[in-house]
Amino acid sequence: MADVSQLMQEWSKVISSIDATKGSEQLLNTLASLKVPGVNMDALVASQRDNLEALSASNRAALEGMKAVGAWQVKLMQETMRELTSAIGGLASAGSPQQLVWAESELARKAFATAVSQMQELTAIVVNANQQATAAIAKRLPESVGEIGDVLKLPQSPTKS
């Protein structure tokens, strides 16, 4: 069991070390040095930098969700092994065939209730991770669309009072 937990920790360290913004910085700097008529390159680069940061935030939230699912799976495996050991001991001590059938049906009932509860718990973990991952993108999208006028050097329209 410790091996699985250690493997999950190492895997999450590798995944969390990936940063999309690092490799993109050089590309953004090159883009900023270009001169394109009618395009405010500084505004374009700033907008794209903000987009990359939103993407990075979304990726971090997704990673946290994956870590939570992994931790949940390790916990579930440990609980299952404990319950299985206990159940086998309980069945071995059943006396008559009727008691054995009753013990088996009770185990099946508990297993079903546990499975439903665990699926609800997993669903909550995944839903939460998805909401957090999409929140950064959903927040950034209208901002990015609003920056198009700055990038294309469009004149500001007068505000209505």
Q: Give the whole-angstrom CA distance, residue 73 versus residue 16.
A: 19
Angle, CA of 67, 73 and 77, to the nearest 5°: 150
Quick: pLDDT tens for 124-154. Answer: 999 999 999 899 899 998 988 888 888 887 6
Rounded to an integer, the average pLDDT of 150-159 is 70
Query: Does 158 or 57 have the greater pLDDT score?
Result: 57
Residue 63, C-beta contacts closer than 8 angstroms, at least 6 positions apart: 12, 15, 16
